[in-house]
């Protein structure tokens, strides 16, 4: 397992995504995934207050399952717990919940669910572009001052908004955002293709900014719902309609033979190459691996130590014919 440093905290470059735990993923399967991941050297568990939540303010099955597992099986200090809050109501993604009351209520329930008194990283799950970034930074300082959170993160924020927020934080000696979480994969996607204009996908402009700032990024859906693995195996028709809409494009299809060729040369699976595309970037980058199947987590972790060269990264995106 490879790691990055976030100040004095070590983060595995592959995080375990815990969405759907206790919902479509039964507790027995989730517990096996957690055992395999943590026993393989992983330490970064990614959840959110909205995961497995039916209504705003309702219980999060993901957080509750993690809380039970950690209390029974692990030392809290051995894991890095990540959660997210202030997510809009699912029925109206443009109805912002970024306010002090929602923030405090969400994190209070999160801590109760996870059976802990602090989070290592807490993200605003969405941005409210109509709200000045400085107001959000000022509001979030409460979580740091009360020692409820070690690091603040921005999930589905553009790099420009993060830059605005952090400029204010640095000027006023407040706590800045230390980490970002956005959709990022070798299979390019856009918010329009995803079907959610409140979501942020990696762009080349943003990637260069993160590289320049050396700001950590947690990439969700790095495997693109198994797009490359299924296309290479000749079972692309088994992709869900949603995955096809998001990822089956001429650009992404042109990358399939490159993934196949590099995987064969390196003697690894396509899944390992796709994960390594994220974890080999110049900025501190983390791939969030999540699946309903235990064997897919194992497959992903088999490539946990793989590092691609700059030339191999360029080859995958079609910027070089050499690998």
pLDDT in tens, 20-68: 999 999 999 999 999 999 999 999 999 999 999 877 778 899 999 999 9
Q: Is the pLDDT of residue 322 over 80?
A: no
- To the nearest 10 degrees (0 to 180), the angle between helices 61-73 and 100-114 is 40
The token pair that represents 149 in the structure block = 């959170």
The pTM assigned to this predicted structure is 0.96
Cβ–Cβ < 8 Å for 288, 44: no
Whether residue 191 is predicted with pLDDT greater than 90 in this model: the reply is: yes
User: 140 or 297: which carries more pLDDT confidence?
Assistant: 140
Hey, where are the domains in the chain? 9-224+278-304
- The pLDDT score that the predictor gives to residue 272 is 94
The pLDDT tens digits of the residues spanning 137-147 come to 999 999 999 99
Note the helical H segments in the chain. Answer: 27-39, 61-73, 100-114, 133-145, 159-171, 191-194, 204-213, 227-232, 241-247, 250-266, 270-279, 294-301, 310-316
Per-residue tokens: 229: 């693995």
Contacts of 252 (CB under 8 A, 6+ apart): 187, 188, 224, 227
Please determine, for residue 302, whether its predicted confidence score (pLDDT) is greater than 90: no
Q: Which residue has the tokens 């995080």?
A: 15
Level-2 CATH architecture, domain 9-224+278-304: Alpha-Beta Barrel (3.20)
% residues pLDDT > 70 (the chain): 99
Tokens coding 198: 């409140």
* Average pLDDT of the segment spanning 93-117: 97
Nearest to 277 by CA among 267, 269, 289, 285: 285
pLDDT given at position 165: 99
pLDDT category at 323 given cuts 50, 70, 90 is: low
Q: Report yes or no: 109 and 58 within 8 Å, Cβ to Cβ.
A: no
Given a contact cutoff of 8 angstroms between Cβ atoms, the answer to whether 84 and 122 are in contact is: yes
pLDDT band at 237 (very low <50, low <70, confident <90, very high): very high
């Amino acid at each position: 397992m490879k790691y990055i440093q976030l100040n004095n905290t070590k983060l595995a470059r592959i995080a375990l995504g815990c969405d759907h735990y206790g919902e479509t993923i039964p507790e027995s399967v989730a517990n096996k995934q957690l055992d395999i991941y943590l026993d393989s050297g992983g330490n970064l568990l990614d959840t959110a207050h909205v995961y497995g939540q039916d209504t705003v303010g309702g219980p999060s099955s993901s957080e509750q399952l993690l809380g039970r597992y950690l209390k029974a099986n692990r030392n809290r200090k051995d894991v890095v717990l990540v959660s997210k809050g202030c997510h809009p109501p699912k029925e109206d993604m443009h109805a912002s919940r970024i306010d002090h009351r929602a923030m405090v209520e969400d994190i209070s329930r999160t801590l109760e669910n996870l059976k802990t008194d602090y989070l290592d990283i807490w993200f605003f799950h969405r941005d409210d572009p109509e709200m000045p970034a400085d107001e959000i930074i000022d509001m979030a300082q409460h979580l740091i001052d009360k020692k409820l959170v070690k690091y603040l993160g921005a999930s589905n924020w553009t790099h420009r908004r993060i830059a605005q927020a952090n400029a204010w934080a640095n000027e006023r000696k407040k706590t800045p955002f230390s980490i970002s979480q956005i959709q990022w994969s070798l299979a390019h996607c856009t918010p329009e293709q995803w079907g959610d204009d409140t979501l942020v996908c990696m762009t080349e402009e943003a990637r260069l900014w993160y590289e320049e700032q050396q700001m950590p990024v947690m990439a969700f859906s790095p495997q693109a719902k198994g797009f490359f693995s299924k296309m290479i195996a000749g079972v692309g028709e088994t992709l869900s309609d949603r995955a096809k809409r998001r990822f089956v494009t001429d650009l992404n299809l042109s990358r399939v033979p490159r993934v196949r060729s590099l995987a064969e040369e390196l003697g690894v699976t396509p899944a390992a190459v796709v994960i390594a595309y994220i974890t080999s970037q110049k900025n501190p980058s983390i791939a969030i691996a999540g699946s309903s199947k235990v064997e897919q987590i194992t497959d992903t972790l088999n490539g946990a130590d793989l590092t691609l060269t700059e030339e191999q990264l360029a080859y995958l995106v079609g910027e070089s014919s050499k690998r």
